[in-house]
Amino acid sequence: MEEKSIIEVKNISKIYGNKVILKNINLKINKGEFITVIGSSGCGKTTFLKLINGLIEPDDGKVYVEGNDISKVDKIALRRKIGYVIQEIGLFPHMTVRKNISYVPNLIKKEKRDSIENRVKELINKVGLKEEMLDNYPNELSGGQRQRVGIARALAINPNIILMDEPFGAIDEITRKLLQDEILKIYKEYNMTIIFITHDIKEALKLGTRIMVMDKGELIQIDTPEQLIKNPKNIFVKELLGDNKIS
């Protein structure tokens, strides 16, 4: 029996003015996959991500999340079930780390305050930070620490899906490798589905169960790291991978 997809896009296209951003994208992502997305700048990676949580709408085609056509659901409710981590992090500067992480759970009010507080403490440890930092403000943290808080905030709603748009792009190499290891541990422990945009080919190969290669708004190839390296579909994929191997 075919595994039911948690995300499916059918014949998706998006155009801004005269520029085609996405062209006839078809894709199924199963629960528990870690999809890394690579490609040239401006190829539509971020647009693709934003289509999944309804931040933008396609000009053609349909997006399904957990079997539901998202054009027919409450977008705010949809986004509150999907974790979203971006390079700029987007923490609220006037809120402590504790309040940043607990913001959406408190907004939804599905859990008691004590349960939310326990979840916050659990998550701050999961992302490799100390509980003493919960009363700090974002400007008191390093870039790597703020990124970890951003990941904890995305996990606070206990999502089935996390979207990550170059989350480690502005971080030094040592911290980046540590965060890669942290996100792999979290991914395996929580059995969630992650879609992760990166410009770093080594990062894509290390993290992804499958890698999605895009160019000029088109999905060129989606394959396991092993298959991508062994059988690149065309010269663009081959040149993009270069001499990189699976670490």
Rounded Cα distance between 108 and 121, Å, is 19
Residue with tokens 């390093």: 142
* Tens-digit pLDDT profile for residues 113-150: 788 899 999 999 988 899 999 999 999 999 889 989 99
User: Hey, what domains does the chain have and what are their CATH numbers?
Assistant: 1-81+164-247 (3.40.50.300), 85-158 (no CATH)
Q: Mean pLDDT over residues 22-26, rounded?
A: 96
DSSP conformation class of 4: P
pLDDT for residue 110 is more than 70: no
**Long-range pairs, 238-241, Cβ under 8 A, ≥24:** 240/38, 240/39, 240/40, 240/201, 240/213, 241/201
pLDDT of residue 71: 95
Q: How far is CA 13 from CA 26, 40, 60, 180, 223, in A?
A: 10, 18, 5, 31, 22
Residue 185 tokens, joined: 């541990």
Is the model's pLDDT at 85 over the cut of 50? yes
pLDDT digits (tens, 9 = 90+) for 181-225: 999 999 998 889 999 999 999 999 999 999 999 999 999 999 999
**Bridge partner list, 36:** 196, 211
What pLDDT score does 1 carry? Answer: 34
